Amino acid sequence: MYIVLNVLMCVVFVILGLIGLLAALFIFVGICSLFADRNKVYDHESKFFRFLLTYSTAIAKVLLRVKLDVRGMDKVPDGRFLLVSNHRSKFDPILTWLVFKKQHIAFISKESNFKVPIFGRIIRKCCFMAIDRENPREALKTINQAVKLIKNDEVSVGVYPEGTRNYEEGLLPFHNAVFKIAVKAKVPIVILTVRGAYEIQKNYPWHSSVVRMDICEVMDADKVASMKTNEIGEHIADVMNDNLGYTKEG
């Protein structure tokens, strides 16, 4: 009985220690975020804030009991590129920037994500960009900013051409204008599919989740330059549909 009590006491102390450590980390990250302006568009990525983003995500992945099954990373080019993916879960970009931590992905995202406490400031310092899809002129500014960041070798850029999370099977119609980023920057397009992230919120905390990521294809810069944006969109949709097992119509 004495031994059992000692073991239980040790377990309790370990748990309390971990909670204290996580609380201290959260406070530290929160204080650091105060040095970022969530409304400013940054031209240069902060290596420190990228470190915070990557390793806080890695900790969250462990806590959420997520296992990653990544296939095709050998296809990813050495230089900058445009990353294109399907989008079903709020966890999609979080896990994607963790998998592509060496490539430093900066996503184009909706404005509301930059208003999230702490998180919104950190992603700004990592060159993430907000886009106003209701205002073509403002959307073009975001596209041009993404082109500049790629050309200046600051980051690679990630986009979700469906424009929003898709809770149904199949793909939503693409916003083909985002492919202008690759055309103007003269870089390849990496086509990614993600499946399983949507189940994380349903599985946690009782079950672990397996998220599979497939780098399906890399369209080289010459191929991208030879196609119109609607043709690029059609090709990417075909590749994603084939990988996900959907018909083209969804």
How far apart, in Å, are the Cα atoms of 29 and each of 25, 53, 112, 118? 6, 9, 20, 7
pLDDT cut 90: percent of the chain above it: 72
Q: Is residue 200 helix, strand or coil?
A: helix
Residue 238 falls inside a structural domain: yes
Q: What is the mean pLDDT of residues 213-231?
A: 98
For 245, the token pair is: 């097992």
Q: How high is the pLDDT of residue 217?
A: 98
**Residue 106 to residue 158: CA distance in whole angstroms:** 6
Q: How high is the pLDDT of residue 181?
A: 98
Residue 23 falls inside a structural domain: no
How far apart, in Å, are the Cα atoms of 112 and each of 108, 109, 119, 129, 167? 12, 8, 11, 11, 19
**Residue 66 to residue 64: CA distance in whole angstroms:** 6
Neighbours of 136 (CB within 10 A): 10
- pLDDT tens profile 108-145: 999 999 999 989 999 999 999 999 888 888 999 999 99
Proportion of the chain in helix, strand, coil states, percent, rounded to 5: 50, 15, 35
**Residue 76 to residue 237: CA distance in whole angstroms:** 19
Residue 98 falls inside a structural domain: yes
68 vs 246, more confident: 68
pLDDT band at 250 (very low <50, low <70, confident <90, very high): very low
Residue 51 falls inside a structural domain: yes
Q: How high is the pLDDT of residue 143?
A: 96
The answer to whether the CB of 49 falls within 8 A of the CB of 122 is yes
Lowest mean pLDDT among 2-16, 20-34, 146-160: 2-16
Residue 53 falls inside a structural domain: yes
In DSSP notation, 161-198 reads TT-S---SSS-PPP-GGGGHHHHHHT--EEEEEEESGG
pLDDT band at 1 (very low <50, low <70, confident <90, very high): low
pLDDT band at 74 (very low <50, low <70, confident <90, very high): very high
Q: Is residue 107 helix, strand or coil?
A: strand
Q: How high is the pLDDT of residue 14?
A: 46
Residue 115 falls inside a structural domain: yes
pLDDT band at 223 (very low <50, low <70, confident <90, very high): very high
- pLDDT tens profile 89-113: 999 999 999 999 999 999 999 999 9
Q: How high is the pLDDT of residue 175?
A: 94
Beta pairing partners, 63: none
Tell me: pLDDT of 7 over 70.
no
Neighbours of 230 (CB within 10 A): 12
**Residue 142 to residue 181: CA distance in whole angstroms:** 10
Tell me: pLDDT of 9 over 70.
no
In which order are the strands placed within the sheet that holds 82-85?
Answer: 66-71, 209-219, 189-195, 82-85, 156-159, 105-109, 129-130
CATH code, domain carrying 56: 3.40.1130.10
Residue 7 falls inside a structural domain: no
The answer to whether the CB of 161 falls within 8 A of the CB of 169 is no
- pLDDT tens profile 148-178: 999 999 999 999 999 989 888 889 999 999 9
Q: 109 is in which domain, residue-wise?
A: 35-244
Q: How high is the pLDDT of residue 4?
A: 53
Q: What is the mean pLDDT of residues 68-88?
A: 97
Q: How high is the pLDDT of residue 246?
A: 83
- pLDDT tens profile 35-64: 788 889 999 999 999 999 999 999 999 999
For 30, the token pair is: 């929160």
Q: Based on the structure, what is the number of domains in the chain? A: 1
Neighbours of 90 (CB within 10 A): 13
Residue 154 falls inside a structural domain: yes
